[in-house]
Structure 1
Amino acid sequence: MTGMLDGGTHLTTAGGESVRVIDMLGAGGQGEVYRVGTDSGERALKWYYPACATPEQDVIVRELVDRDFDDDRFLWPTAYVPSGTGAFGYLMDLRPDRFKGLPDLFRRRLRTTPRALLTAALYTVEAYQALHSRGIAYRDISWGNIFFDPSTGDVLVCDNDNAVVEGDSTGISGTMEFMAPELVRGDTGARPGTQSDLHSLSVLLFMLLMNHHPLKGKKELEIHCLDEAAEKRLYGKQPLFVFHPDDTANSPDPVEQSTVLHTWAAAPPVLQDLFTHNFTVGLHQPTARVRESQWRDALRSVLDAVVDCPDCGRQNMTQPGATTAGSCWSCGSTLVLPPRLSIITPLPRSERHVRLHRAARVHEHHLAPEPSRHDYSDATLVAELTEHPNKPGKFGLANRSTTSWTGTRSDGTSQEIAPGQTVPLRAGLRLVLGGAQAAVHAK
């Protein structure tokens, strides 16, 4: 693959660091990405096509570098790289191989699970929430800018060079499929910002969890030439949710678009309700769109309510707080709800519910009233369900924290559970985990 820069080309960052081009990694709509060697090790260099190396983009990149946004979920521009001929680019960290693109997910080239997809959705929401909380609008949220680990759900946001301070109208408006309808139509006064980001985010979440676009139903199949005019009708002038509760004109075709019918049926009402609101009311009222905090709370509660089918072992999303779980989406068997751990956090009081399936775990964020970030990695593990080594079918909750717990059984007797110890799992068991209170319920 040949590109604008030859291997061995030498450049220098605005800060004086030496950059040597090693090879080309790929190309996108705005430029090419290269592997480069620097004084601090191998990095990635995005180099703009001449048509995209505008003075406006130059200003955006310089401002992003100066902002020094330190967040491990973003491959943020870290150094501006000029050429002396008007061309320019920027350095960023290399993307680790474990992170895969969403197109591979949509084409079913990746093996993943509902838990990993829900985790990726939750982490994606929190990543953009972190950006918006700093007064930055991303403006180009799409399937091409998010990468995820199909095993863990960890996410990495790439191509961050279109993010600007909220209210700035320079640069691009986004990718048509993900743009808010008012931007697609070009409404007077409509500008890309956090409100339009909320629409793009919801489209991305729908595609991540449903493997389909929320506005592509029968109406798309009736289009013979999907040109720009047709796209504007589909996404801007006449957008219609494929699962609109009162209008079936754009419902999914049962043959050509059967996948989304199955994925939607497998989604719990708490997610269906948010998607329905965002793609009905939210299409026409930007200020009424689902906020990141609403998505965060719903996704976390569903993630903690995932159960395994007792027959085929497939993971199923269930409605948080429900007393019945319905049937398995894969084999149709009746699902059995495992015991539930209810956690009451310190003030400001919040309640969490974790289904105690065979691989259940409790993390630090479960014990915090208002966690700034959810983290399901081993580094934040507080407790996990374990099976007795000599009594199959008997489970306990193992203390993986660094402090002792206090446990109270249903008969009123109590015990201390030191780090590394396990308390037998029984309905009625009450625990004090740090400053949080927890109780085990049968369902």
Structure 2
Amino acid sequence: MTSVRLTSKLTGNTIEFIDEIKASGGMKDIYFSPDKSYVVGFFRNKSDPNQLERLRDICTRYRENLFNQSGGDYWESAFRWPHDLVERNGTIGVVVPFYENAFFFAHGSKNGDFLKIKGREKEGKWFSSASNREKFLDPREKGTYLSHLQICLSIARAVRRMHMAGLAHSDLSYKNVLVDPTSGKACLIDIDGLVVPGKYHPDVVGTPDFIAPEVIKTQHLDRKDPNRILPSVKTDRHALAVLIYMYLFYRHPLRGRKVHDQSPQRDEELSMGERALFVEHPLDASNRVRPEDLRKQSLPWGDPKARPYSMAGPVLKKLFEEAFIDGLHNPAKRPSAATWENALVRTIDLIQPCSAKCDMGWYVFDNSKAPSCPHCGTPYKGKLPVLNLYSQRRKGSYHYDDHRLMIWDGQSLFPWHIRTSVTPNEHLKQAEKKRVGYFQKHNESWWLVNETVVGMRNLSEGTVIPIGGKVKLEDGINILLSPEDDGRMSLVQMSGA
């Protein structure tokens, strides 16, 4: 194949690529570099000064603000952020790092890869539909319920960072997010259309299924009409909520049985826009999904009655209600990306492995006295400890943090569990990523083993738990997890029979 060399418009470096279109999107054609370390995406339309200025800012100022700050290294895998520009025949090309290997199918589809997707990128649509998962995916590509929660956390964290910088993605969807359910990784792509309020306006209104209702409702108005709603941080919040719902339940939160108009186009506009209604709305059942209307491959996940949104646990249940009931037609009430991130961290702390080793592998503890796996129905047998976490508002006065740590054999205790000043995000120092203790089941008794914390105490007995020592977890005991001013105390509760 012929190789093309162009001079960068930003650095003066030589950008080389193979002159063969390897992929095409809605606006660009993609070419690979010879060593596959980067790709060049050429816009099909001729460039204009505003587009060029936006792309320059994305490749320089906004990129530097992201990657040259504390925790900047973390974002290398969370985004595929453009870093250079070239021009060819009057069109602009953006230079973007190549995708990580994790984001390409290793096994392809079922039955000897009859879809020929082995080696192709893991676009999110494959993993957000119950029928796609069942009909097409090799079981080794599906991941677990835990890894899907981790995917959602990765997406929420990346969107939070963009919004903190005053940027909106404008087209957040499963088309622009790569995911890897085997590792729990996610990566946002197509960053070149970022919206900056008052400066750079959106090029597109979004991808169907993810466009906010107010955008669809006003899409008939002229773009300059002040009543026309265009993509922004608030519309990103809707798209983020839809993504999280779809990655956890493999169905769409608004696509139910209600018909609003005999015209398919008008019905689509109403059902996704002005009259959008959550399929699991507790007070309005008119958009409920009926199992008899679904294909066999979509069951049981396509049926909200069989797999209700409450399955994601009490923390996420509340946010889904805020997103799809309170905030569906009131953008100001939608949960922020930071709120989703915090909720997903707390939900992952509520995860429990299924004793039957079912397909999903894990489930979220529902605060019940008799927990069971909602995926396969297997009840948990025996006692199950839960740590309720408390922190100090003032010296010696502890208050509940609305944060619980579900215990399982081999579960780790991390610095962010024992100290409120440590948050599991991009700012974690290397030392803070290491566990400080672990939990172990032995002869039907549960134990917390202290590995590194000086001053851990069993407050119920007034005894120190030395490094290398352990404490038996029994209902009602209090453990001082860290004696620091930002240290937490925990109250042990026993669930299960």
- 1:364/1:380 contact within 8 Å kept: yes
Q: State how far apart, in whole Å, the 1-side matches of 2:40 and 2:258 are.
A: 38
What's the TM-score, normalizing by structure 2? 0.76
> Which residues of 2 match residues 6-405 of structure 1 at below 5 A?
7-14=2-9, 15-22=11-18, 25-37=22-34, 42-51=36-45, 53-66=47-60, 67-68=62-63, 69-70=66-67, 71-72=75-76, 73-83=78-88, 85-99=89-103, 100-105=122-127, 106=129, 107-108=132-133, 109=137, 110-167=141-198, 168-186=200-218, 188-219=227-258, 227=265, 229-255=266-292, 256=294, 258=299, 259-260=301-302, 261=304, 262-264=306-308, 266-312=311-357, 314-319=361-366, 322-335=367-380, 338-345=384-391, 351=401, 352-369=403-420, 373-374=424-425, 380-385=433-438, 387=440, 396-399=447-450, 401=452, 404-405=454-455
Q: Select which of 479, 486, 495 maps to 1:430.
A: 479
| Deviation string, structure 1 residues 373-432 (Cα, Å, up to 9, x no partner) | 5379997132353548xx66555444555x645333743232421xxx352443336244
Counterpart secondary structure, 1:75:
coil
Counterpart secondary structure, 1:340:
strand
Q: State how far apart, in whole Å, the 2-side matches of 1:290 and 1:52 are.
A: 38
Q: State how far apart, in whole Å, the 2-side matches of 1:208 and 1:223 are.
A: 29
Cα 1:284/1:381, change in 2 over 3 Å: same
| Deviation string, structure 1 residues 219-271 (Cα, Å, up to 9, x no partner) | 37x999855x4432221132121112222222112130642323326333432
Sequence identity percentage: 23
Gaps of 5+ in 2: 68-74, 104-121, 220-226
Cα 1:358/1:101, change in 2 over 3 Å: farther
Q: State how far apart, in whole Å, the 2-side matches of 1:407 and 1:174 are.
A: 53
| Deviation string, structure 1 residues 198-223 (Cα, Å, up to 9, x no partner) | 11111111111111111111137x99
Counterpart secondary structure, 2:38:
strand
- Cα offset, 1:163, TM superposition: 1.0
Higher mean displacement: 101-110 or 130-139: 101-110
| Deviation string, structure 1 residues 338-393 (Cα, Å, up to 9, x no partner) | 212334456697733211112422333334436565379997132353548xx665
Code of the residue aligned with 1:263 in structure 2: it is R
> Which of 1 and 2 has higher RCO (CA within 8 Å, sep 6+)?
2
- 1:31/1:52 contact within 8 Å kept: no
Q: State how far apart, in whole Å, the 2-side matches of 1:309 and 1:114 are.
A: 10
Code of the residue aligned with 1:439 in structure 2: it is S
Q: State how far apart, in whole Å, the 2-side matches of 1:102 and 1:379 are.
A: 31
Code of the residue aligned with 1:253 in structure 2: it is R
Counterpart secondary structure, 1:135:
coil
Counterpart secondary structure, 1:171:
coil
- Cα offset, 1:80, TM superposition: 1.3
- 1:176/1:184 contact within 8 Å kept: no
Number of matched residues? 424
Q: State how far apart, in whole Å, the 1-side matches of 2:461 and 2:412 are.
A: 26
- Cα offset, 1:57, TM superposition: 3.2
Counterpart of 2:462? 412
Q: State how far apart, in whole Å, the 2-side matches of 1:145 and 1:364 are.
A: 33
Code of the residue aligned with 1:47 in structure 2: it is G
Q: State how far apart, in whole Å, the 2-side matches of 1:133 and 1:350 are.
A: 28
Counterpart secondary structure, 2:317:
helix
Cα 1:392/1:177, change in 2 over 3 Å: same
Q: State how far apart, in whole Å, the 2-side matches of 1:135 and 1:378 are.
A: 31
Counterpart of 1:3? none
Q: State how far apart, in whole Å, the 2-side matches of 1:210 and 1:395 are.
A: 33
- Cα offset, 1:138, TM superposition: 1.1
- Cα offset, 1:441, TM superposition: 0.9
Q: State how far apart, in whole Å, the 2-side matches of 1:202 and 1:123 are.
A: 13
| Deviation string, structure 1 residues 251-305 (Cα, Å, up to 9, x no partner) | 1121306423233263334323322332223222111212223323322222111
Q: State how far apart, in whole Å, the 1-side matches of 2:169 and 2:86 are.
A: 22
Higher mean displacement: 350-359 or 108-117: 350-359
Q: State how far apart, in whole Å, the 2-side matches of 1:25 and 1:378 are.
A: 42
- 1:362/1:381 contact within 8 Å kept: no
Q: State how far apart, in whole Å, the 2-side matches of 1:360 and 1:139 are.
A: 39
- 2:419/2:488 contact within 8 Å kept: no
Q: State how far apart, in whole Å, the 1-side matches of 2:2 and 2:308 are.
A: 48
Code of the residue aligned with 1:12 in structure 2: it is T
Cα 1:384/1:52, change in 2 over 3 Å: farther
Cα 1:216/1:378, change in 2 over 3 Å: farther
RMSD: 3.1
